[in-house]
Amino acid sequence: AQRVTQPEKLLSVFKGAPVELKCNYSYSGSPELFWYVQYSRQRLQLLLRHISRESIKGFTADLNKGETSFHLKKPFAQEEDSAMYYCALSNTGGFKTIFGAGTRLFVKA
Amino acid sequence: NAGVTQTPKFQVLKTGQSMTLQCAQDMNHEYMSWYRQDPGMGLRLIHYSVGAGITDQGEVPNGYNVSRSTTEDFPLRLLSAAPSQTSVYFCASSSVGQGSNEQFFGPGTRLTVL
């Protein structure tokens, strides 16, 4: 069965500090992993996907198949990074995307 | 392009009432889905569709019906509303195929069932 686990409901860091949002998944095939972000009063939107191996707004995420993890990292957090972050998994082909419970990131000045 | 649109933005129902949440997209996406967002539980998949005439259940389908008669529209029906269905509902769409399935979300419908 597909499952996405985000163990932290809330993560609070100071501006300029490194941040890591954890995501672990369970899936028997070859999953596609994503991070979505929801800023205050905005729509949920894609931040990055593992298949692109990209860095968006300074964030990166590496898929670790051995540990079944897809943690989101940024070396220096900014106040504008404060938002709700969701890890998501879809099966091969893009159907049935499942989301984690989300982590609220709060970056303090 | 309007992207993904949802109506209404807000709705209050009494227990037992029925209603339909509307969702439309103008991006010619094959895949559409409905989620509910609850505090501490994230987004949970209710139903999804991979094309006109094809629907399937997600994680929490009970109490909800869907149909997909056109590529553009994917309405969600609450047959007999219950207080447990108080939530924010999001519709999303994407194209399908490996590496192409970024989901585009609507603005959400906030539903309260009294």
CA B13 to chain A, closest CA, distance in angstroms equals 24
How would residue B99 be classed by pLDDT, with cut points 50, 70 and 90?
low
A9 touches chain B (CB under 8 A): yes
A11 touches chain B (CB under 8 A): no
Q: Output the pLDDT for position A1.
A: 78
C-alpha–C-alpha distance, residues A2 and B70, integer Å: 28
Mean pLDDT of B1-17: 95
Structure-block tokens of residue B59:
């994680």
Q: Output the pLDDT for position B76.
A: 98
Structure-block tokens of residue B1:
């392009």
Q: Output the pLDDT for position B40.
A: 85
Question: Burial of A13 by CB count in 10 Å (0-12 exposed, 13-18 middle, 19+ buried)?
Answer: middle
pLDDT per residue as tens, chain A (109 positions): 789 999 999 999 999 999 999 999 998 888 889 999 999 989 999 999 887 778 889 999 988 989 999 999 999 999 999 999 999 998 876 678 899 999 999 999 9
Do residues A11 and A107 make contact, with C-beta atoms less than 8 angstroms apart?
A: no
Do residues A73 and A60 make contact, with C-beta atoms less than 8 angstroms apart?
A: yes
Q: Output the pLDDT for position B100.
A: 58
A102 touches chain B (CB under 8 A): yes
Contacts of A5 in chain B (CB under 8 A): none
* CA-based nearest residue to B102, from B27, B44, B51, B7: B27
Do residues A90 and B96 make contact, with C-beta atoms less than 8 angstroms apart?
A: no
Q: Output the pLDDT for position B98.
A: 59
Mean pLDDT of chain B: 93
Q: Give the Å distances, CA to CA, from A97 to A66, A76, A103, B79.
A: 21, 30, 18, 25
Residue A103 DSSP label: E
Q: Is 70 exceeded by the pLDDT of residue B47?
A: yes
| Residue linked to tokens 């969702």 | B23
C-alpha–C-alpha distance, residues B114 and B105, integer Å: 27
Alpha-helix runs per DSSP H in chain A: none
C-alpha–C-alpha distance, residues B109 and B20, integer Å: 11
Helices H / strands E in chain A, number of each = 0, 11
CA nearest A50 in B: which residue? B99
C-alpha–C-alpha distance, residues B19 and B23, integer Å: 13
C-alpha–C-alpha distance, residues B3 and B26, integer Å: 6
